[in-house]
Amino acid sequence: MHRITVIGGGFAGLTAAVTAAEAGAKVTMYEAHHTLGGRARTAEGPYKTNEGPHALYNGGPHWVWLRQRDLIGPLAPIPPLEAARLRLRHKGVLRRTPPFAMLKLLRPGARQAPVDVDFMTWATEQAGEEGARAAAHYSAVALFHHDPGSLSAAFVQERLRRATKLPPEAHYPRGGWASVIDRMAARAWNLGVRMETLSRVITLPTDTPVVVATSLDAARRLLGDDSLTWAGGRTALIDLAVRTRRGDAFAVSDLDSPGWLERFTAQDRSLAPAGEQLIQGQIPIAPHETKADGIARAEQLLDLAFEGWRGRVTWRREAVANGRTGAVDLPGTSWRDRPAVDRGDGVYLAGDQVAAPGVLSEVSFNSALTAVSLALGRNALDLKRA
């Protein structure tokens, strides 16, 4: 029987553990935290927040994989009346529809954007500056960067397409992402995966192939390899519970500068106590900006879309996610240029900033599958030789 070690019990680590165990390997997984899930954890207690606004995109490869194994569980669909309450801030006012120029970039037959040019330059040629800027800001919902227009046009276009598809790709596991994590962990358990929590790995084991399924920062420290870096976003997070008021927006996208607010109880009442609504927002901030700058912009959006929210607040929390929202690709680079999965000597990386395709957590998923197939293939070869 092949043996394999997985370091990290987030979405990537659990994907790797389940995949390897399904292939017949004996898997040991170590997680530093006392619970599994990593950035896909959902807070316990009365307000069931994910780490910032989270949606599971059903156009990705993880969707089919999770579905086939019955790991998604019940979903919380957005009631049509609530979906109609999506608002866009443009030129300081709330609108229901995007500016016409932005729609030019969303046409099904739109040209494939190039890798080596920034999105703003390319999109301005296609749709003019106003449409390009609005589209760049809208795409921030799926890339968490303060200046999406400065990133590779191909990279931004993919996220824009996925985030604006109709019917929407965004889906919401009832009870938050932790419900999916719990199902993945149960499957791993049933397949015989040994899972050790509160087990921070300090040195890499050398007796089995290893999948390092941590953040890229943690992998850099663990492997002592300073080349393990890639660009990412920095975003201010606001979690807010407010007393219910009819007429609140469902979600607000800021087209004047990047930012997104979403009232998650619109689709899932179980996330907050009765009579309260849970709003989660993310406002990307530039390197020189502070959390307070981001929160001030979030409050401007709240003022527009959630009338009287200040007097209705029952709970509030703020944070900054720095480099925790996946990879962003600069002009001239694509996912293929990120740190390779295969590090040599039986060590493989999985995570959302490594060389694998997809949007956000799909990168963790895809890299986990690649890491396991390389690890087991290599192990099989070694066994044959022995």
Ligand X SMILES: Cc1cc2nc3c(=O)[nH]c(=O)nc-3n(C[C@H](O)[C@H](O)[C@H](O)COP(=O)(O)OP(=O)(O)OC[C@H]3O[C@@H](n4cnc5c(N)ncnc54)[C@H](O)[C@@H]3O)c2cc1C
Residues that bind ligand X (CB under 6 A): 7-13, 30-33, 38-40, 51-55, 200-201, 213-215, 218, 222, 237, 282, 321, 324-326, 351-352, 360-361, 364
Minimum distance between the CB of residue 307 and ligand X, rounded to whole angstroms?
A: 26
Minimum distance between the CB of residue 94 and ligand X, rounded to whole angstroms?
A: 23
Q: Which residue has the tokens 């080349």?
A: 227
Token output for 328: 């962003």
Helices marked H in the chain — which ranges?
11-22, 61-68, 80-83, 100-104, 119-139, 153-164, 178-190, 216-223, 291-305, 309-312, 361-385
Q: Choose between 16 and 153: whose C-beta lies nearer to ligand X.
A: 16
Q: Choose between 131 and 323: whose C-beta lies nearer to ligand X.
A: 323
Minimum distance between the CB of residue 376 and ligand X, rounded to whole angstroms?
A: 19
Token output for 99: 């500016």
Q: Choose between 260 and 306: whose C-beta lies nearer to ligand X.
A: 260
Minimum distance between the CB of residue 384 and ligand X, rounded to whole angstroms?
A: 31
d(CA 126, CA 132): 8
**Which of these, 61, 68, 64, 7, lies nearest to 38 by C-alpha position?**
7
Minimum distance between the CB of residue 264 and ligand X, rounded to whole angstroms?
A: 11
Q: Within 13 Å and on the Cβ side, how many CA atoms surround 296?
A: 6
Q: Choose between 129 and 345: whose C-beta lies nearer to ligand X.
A: 345
**Which of these, 142, 202, 195, lies nearest to 363 by C-alpha position?**
142
Rg (CA), the chain: 21
Q: Choose between 10 and 148: whose C-beta lies nearer to ligand X.
A: 10
Beta carbons of 193 and 17 less than 8 angstroms apart: yes
Q: Choose between 13 and 258: whose C-beta lies nearer to ligand X.
A: 13
Sorted by sequence, the CB contacts under 8 Å of residue 147 that are 6+ apart come out as 136, 258, 286
Minimum distance between the CB of residue 217 and ligand X, rounded to whole angstroms?
A: 9
Minimum distance between the CB of residue 385 and ligand X, rounded to whole angstroms?
A: 30
Q: Choose between 17 and 101: whose C-beta lies nearer to ligand X.
A: 17
